[in-house]
Amino acid sequence: MPEALQTSKLSSTLKWTFILSLVLCIFSLAGFAFTHHADGNGGFHRSGWQQNGTGGTEGFRSEPSRWNPDEFSRAFLGASGFGETNGGQESRGSSGGRLRPGDGRGFEGGGLGSMGGGRMSQIPLAEPIALAAYTALAAVLIGIGWRRLRSAQPALLAWDSGEGEAANRRHSGRSTLWLMLGSALLLRIALVPWTTGHNGDMNYFRSWATSAAQDFSGFYVHGSADYPPLLIYFLYLIGRAASLPGMEIFFNTMIKLPSLLADVITGYLIYRLASRHVSTRLGFILAAFYAACPAVLVDSAFWGQVDSFFTLLIVLAVLLITEGRLTWSAALFAAAVMMKPQGIIFAPVLFFEWVRLRSVKKAAAGMLTAAAVVVLLILPFSSGQDPLWIVKLFQRTIGEYPYASVNADNFFSLIGANHKDSSSVFILFSYQTWGWIFIVLTTAYSWLIYSRIRSREAAFLAALFQIAGVFTFSTSMHERYLFPAVALAICAYLYFKDKRLLGVAAGFSFTVFANTFSVLYGATGRTGTPSYTYSLMFVSLINVLLVLWLAVIMWQLAFRTSRE
The mean pLDDT of the chain is: 79
| pLDDT above 60 (res 366) | yes
> pLDDT higher for 160 or 70?
160
Query: What ranges in 323-388 are assigned the alpha helix state H?
Result: 326-337, 347-357, 360-378
pLDDT for position 124: 64
pLDDT for position 121: 44
pLDDT for position 245: 86
DSSP for residue 121: P
Q: How far is CA 481 from the centre of its chain?
A: 7
Residue by residue, DSSP assigns 305-324 as -SHHHHHHHHHHHHHHHHTT
Report the pLDDT averaged over residues 28-40: 74
pLDDT, tens digit, for every residue of 325-361? Answer: 999 999 999 999 999 999 999 999 999 999 999 989 9
**Per-range mean pLDDT, top range of 47-51, 167-171, 451-455:** 451-455
Distance CA(132)–CA(141), nearest Å, equals 14
Q: Measure Cα distances from 37 to 189, 245, 254, 285, 369 in Å.
A: 19, 11, 17, 41, 47
Report the pLDDT averaged over residues 251-275: 93
pLDDT for position 267: 94
Q: Using pLDDT thresholds of 50, 70 and 90, give the confidence band for residue 493.
A: very high
Q: What is the largest CA-CA distance in the chain?
A: 74
Share of the chain above pLDDT 90, in %: 45
Distance CA(249)–CA(424), nearest Å, equals 46
Identify the weakest region by mean pLDDT among 36-50, 69-83, 229-243, 488-502. Answer: 69-83
pLDDT for position 74: 30
Report the pLDDT averaged over residues 491-497: 94
Report the pLDDT averaged over residues 374-380: 93
Task: Give pTM, 2 decimals.
Answer: 0.82
| pLDDT above 80 (res 56) | no
Every domain of the chain and the residues it spans: 401-563
**Type of residue numbered 535:** S
Identify the weakest region by mean pLDDT among 8-12, 127-131, 168-172, 233-237. Answer: 168-172
Contacts of residue 25, Cβ cutoff 8 Å, sequence gap at least 6: 186, 187, 189, 190
Residues 145-154: contacts with CB under 8 Å, at least 24 apart: 145/285, 145/289, 146/502, 146/506, 149/282, 149/285, 149/499, 149/502, 150/499
Number of Cβ atoms within 10 Å of the Cβ of 128: 19
pLDDT, tens digit, for every residue of 390-445? Answer: 888 888 888 778 899 988 999 999 998 888 888 998 988 999 999 999 999 999 99
Q: Using pLDDT thresholds of 50, 70 and 90, give the confidence band for residue 12.
A: confident
pLDDT, tens digit, for every residue of 287-320? Answer: 999 998 999 999 999 999 999 999 999 999 999 9
| pLDDT above 80 (res 503) | yes
pLDDT for position 94: 35
